[in-house]
Amino acid sequence: MLSFLDLKTINGRYRAELIEAAARVIDSGWYIQGAELKAFEHEFAAYCGTRHCIGVANGLDALTLTLRAWKELGKLTEGDEVIVPANTYIASILAITENGLVPVLVEPSERTYNLCQNNIAEAITAKTRAILAVHLYGQLAPMQQIMALAEHHDLLVLEDSAQAHGAQLEGRKAGNWGNASGFSFYPGKNLGALGDAGAITTNDDLLAKTLRALGNYGSHEKYKNLYQGVNSRLDEIQAAMLRVKLRYLDTETQHRRNIATLYRDKIRNNNVSLPHLEDENSHVWHLFVLRSKHRAELQEYLTNSGVQTLIHYPIPPHRQHAYKELETLQLPLTQQIHDEVLSLPISPAMSIADAEEVCGIINTFQPGS
């Protein structure tokens, strides 16, 4: 079976370096908020081109704490509306509602699955205060347009870059477009730790300072608490793992691009539509997502042919039990996307020969046979 994502092989290629990094942490006797985290924050900020990177416990916390910090700084108030794509992973929405803010779910662009200018503009009301721009599947949302709209309407922009480490447009990377950006380093992400981890990038000094306090019990100074904060920190051991993995990120992204190019060149089947690519560098192919009216059959065909696929995502947030209050929303495109998408295997550890085999299998798929 060709597995969807083989983390053991991915990390196994760096086994010696990862063990050396882990040993360094073990031997340091210092496990939280030490030299490894400081170095990783510095290196990841440099990678994104931002002034600050603040390590936190996971990607959801990165988003939640940023919105919380804007509340503490008086830039957001409970009840304010935040525009977010309806087809995102549920974490984006959880970050909004956890803060008592109101998610305004908008349909994405049919071509890119990301927010688009017109749909945002239509959703702006007197209560809109922010846009949560998700770079879904690894492709940058149209940030020039989003930033222009935000400026015009005086809105904050938070990027959800959990799937888009290194994606760039006009030489500017994910994480360096909005007022702040949340990253996840969940093991399966393009830059993955060996456990949970996340970070916020920003060029805003005051926001960075507030975030550092909020993630550390609300404390700027030991035993002095300015906010009712939380404990959300990126452990030394994970920072050390991430420092190793960051050095290979661009090489791994290039491999993902090679597989995506092959899929896009070689998959030819009228029952399948291929993902649209806006710009070569703007996509880091966290996921390679097809669409098909015959998804269930196609998935079964691939499984029977030895190829594991996944669905990102089977149920949209507004159809989840957790969001019963949103169940009356009519979002036909979002629903259709959730009914038709199918993610093919793509990873830095997957061989080109395996990708060619996947193409061959898809090209012989016939529904109803």
| Catalytic annotation, residues | 189
CB of 216 to ligand PLP, least distance (A): 18
Which is nearest to 84 in space by CA: 131, 125, 48? 131
Tokens 């509306």 sit at which residue? Answer: 81
| 154 touches 105 (CB < 8 A) | no
In the set 162, 200, 244, 272, which binds ligand PLP (CB under 6 A)?
Answer: 162
Of 301 and 347, CB closest to ligand PLP: 347
Of 62 and 120, CB closest to ligand PLP: 62
In the set 176, 184, 343, 347, which binds ligand PLP (CB under 6 A)?
Answer: 184
Of 88 and 253, CB closest to ligand PLP: 88
CB of 29 to ligand PLP, least distance (A): 28
Of 100 and 187, CB closest to ligand PLP: 187
In the set 21, 45, 134, 260, which binds ligand PLP (CB under 6 A)?
Answer: 134
Of 52 and 189, CB closest to ligand PLP: 189
CB of 184 to ligand PLP, least distance (A): 3
**Joined tokens for residue 202:** 């920003």
In the set 47, 89, 137, 365, which binds ligand PLP (CB under 6 A)?
Answer: 89
In the set 97, 163, 190, 216, which binds ligand PLP (CB under 6 A)?
Answer: 163
| 157 touches 131 (CB < 8 A) | yes
d(Cα 89, Cα 134) in Å, to the nearest integer? 9
Residue 128 lies near ligand PLP (rule: CB under 6 A): no
d(Cα 270, Cα 228) in Å, to the nearest integer? 56
Classify the phi-psi angles of 17: left when phi > 0, otherwise alpha if psi is within -120 to 50, otherwise beta: alpha
Indicate the DSSP class of residue 33: S
CB of 162 to ligand PLP, least distance (A): 3
What is the footprint of ligand PLP within residues 11-70 (CB under 6 A)? 58-60
- The full DSSP string for 166-220 is T-EETTEETTSSSSEEEEE--TTSSS--SS--EEEEES-HHHHHHHHHHTBTTEE
Tokens 């931002």 sit at which residue? Answer: 50
Closest CB to ligand PLP belongs to which residue? 59
Residue 198 lies near ligand PLP (rule: CB under 6 A): yes
- The full DSSP string for 130-162 is EEEEE-GGGBPP-HHHHHHHHHHHT-EEEEE-T
In the set 5, 91, 93, 355, which binds ligand PLP (CB under 6 A)?
Answer: 91
Instruction: Give the range of 147-155, 158-166, 289-297, 354-362 binding ligand PLP by CB under 6 A.
Output: 158-166
Q: What residues contact 237, with CB distance under 8 A and at least 6 apart?
A: 22, 25, 31, 36, 194, 195
Instruction: State the residues that interact with ligand PLP by CB under 6 A.
Output: 58-60, 88-89, 91-92, 134, 160, 162-163, 184, 186, 196, 198
